[in-house]
Amino acid sequence: MSDGAVPRFPRGVRFQFDAVRETWVVQAPERLFVPDEQAAEILKLVDGARTIDAIVDELAARYAAPREVIAGDVGDMLRDLAAKGALAL
Amino acid sequence: MSPASHKIDPPLAILAELTHRCPLQCPYCSNPLELERSSAELKTEEWCRVLDEAAALGVLQVHFSGGEPMARKDLPALVRRATERGLYSNLITSAVLLNERTLAELIEAGIEHVQVSFQDAEPGGGDLIGGYRGGHAKKLAAARLVFASGLPLTLNFVVHRLNLERLPEMIALAEELGARRIEVAHVQYYGWGLSNRDALLPSRAQLDESTVTVEAARTRLAGRMVIDYVVPDYYASRPKACMGGWARRFMNISPSGKALPCHAAESLPGFDFPSVRQHSLAEIWNHSPAFERFRGTAWMPEPCKSCDRREIDWGGCRCQAFALTGDASRTDPACALSPDHAVMEQAIEASRGAAKPFTYRRIRAEAWAD
């Protein structure tokens, strides 16, 4: 399975580190999402240039997990965030 | 102020009610019945200090609201300050004062999202509810400007008995205007809304139909538009987690600087809500008895105290409990387990039948007397 889509944060959405709570947060219009550690690692690779495939490759190189498992997790997480209006795919 | 007995998570957002002045007069306005005068409003420097303190405390988003926040000439300066402090700035507006120039100033200052309220899908109903002739047309023009600027746009529709039949047209209007998000919010019956309840409360059939319409639209628009849907409590069997729990996530600052756990809290008797003129936000959030009063679960009576949903709905809404039972510390009567639940059915009964008149939100004569 390959995915050449390029995820990006649309205008009005911010992915940032919250120094007070010491956690990554996604701020969107009147919404706030707190990604877990794994999701935050994926979102750090969302830069508006990398494709989903490239993100999966990078994570597969970093972690000892089968590529198809990582691809499934990454796809699910990004689609979920996109459905909530916090990511453009 | 009392010492904090335990660690309290900082608020996520503040609602900055910059003014109670507004060109519109919607009969369900969330402002209190006693509107504050412009002479009592916080000055620019005072709001700037509040924004500085909010960022330091851990607030992430600031919702600039009112009244009509654009009635304050210093709104761009306040947005700029919020931006400088790293806060996410959201504008909640009627949009009748929004034009190319005022929008450009706000964008330059760093506004990140605009929510435009509509009172109906068409000008007749919209201008009637807003009490402002030509308002609907101005909103359409303003929403188009926001979309054209590339800013994310939310359309807010407050729905009730008099406009619910046009809910499909409201959703179609949001699509046409390129909104990324819609709020379909049934009137919440406090303050002005409560005083107009007999005119505005929908029937069970109207509510059910609106829920079906929203669900279908959510499926159809998945991935393109987010629909937030708020139902009225009167047909519920469990209460809403009002404000995500008293003083758990939000702080409301009134035009004159009163800090409140929600925008209706001033309706509660026996409270001395602290002012940002005398106290820092951190002091207020962590030590004010008013914020401590209903925080968490320790204050709860039965049936809340032993309920397994006590940390899901936090006992419902304190203002509703007071408005409908006379006691703010009772279980929200919206809950079917509340001993007072019958008052909801009585209210539904009272609103049945022919259309009733409503009263516009206006500064009352006595509010002007010193």
pLDDT digits (tens, 9 = 90+) for B19-42: 999 999 999 999 999 999 999 999
Mean pLDDT within B191-209:
94
Mean pLDDT within B210-220:
97
| Inter-chain residue contact A12 with B57, CB threshold 8 Å | no
Give the residue from B7, B87, B180, B228 with the most A CB atoms within 10 Å of its CB, the best one to mutate.
B180
Residue B6: predicted pLDDT: 62
pLDDT score of B132 more than 50: yes
Mean pLDDT within B85-91:
98
Chain B nearest-CA residue for A19: B58
Mean pLDDT within B175-197:
95
Q: B124 or A89, which is more confident?
A: B124
Mean pLDDT within B149-164:
97
Residue B367: predicted pLDDT: 39
pLDDT score of B217 more than 90: yes
Residue A79's contacts (CB-CB under 8 Å, 6 or more residues apart) are A89
Residue B307: predicted pLDDT: 97
pLDDT score of A22 more than 60: yes
pLDDT score of B5 more than 80: no
Rounded to the nearest integer, the mean pLDDT of chain B is: 94
Place of tokens 């507004």: B22
ipTM value for the complex: 0.92
Q: Which of A18, A30, A83 sits opposite B223 (nearest CB)?
A: A83
Distance CA B25, CA B130 (A): 5
Residue B80: predicted pLDDT: 98
Provide the pLDDT confidence category of residue A2 given band limits of 50, 70 and 90: low
| Inter-chain residue contact B152 with A14, CB threshold 8 Å | no
Distance CA B204, CA B209 (A): 9
Tens-digit pLDDT profile for residues B241-271: 999 999 999 999 999 999 999 999 999 999 9
Complete DSSP assignment for A18-87: ETTTTEEEEEETTEEE---HHHHHHHTT--SSS-HHHHHHHHHHHSSS-HHHHHHHHHHHHHHHHHTTS-
Tens-digit pLDDT profile for residues B356-369: 889 999 875 443 43
Tell which residue, A58, A89, A60, has the closest CA to residue A75: A89
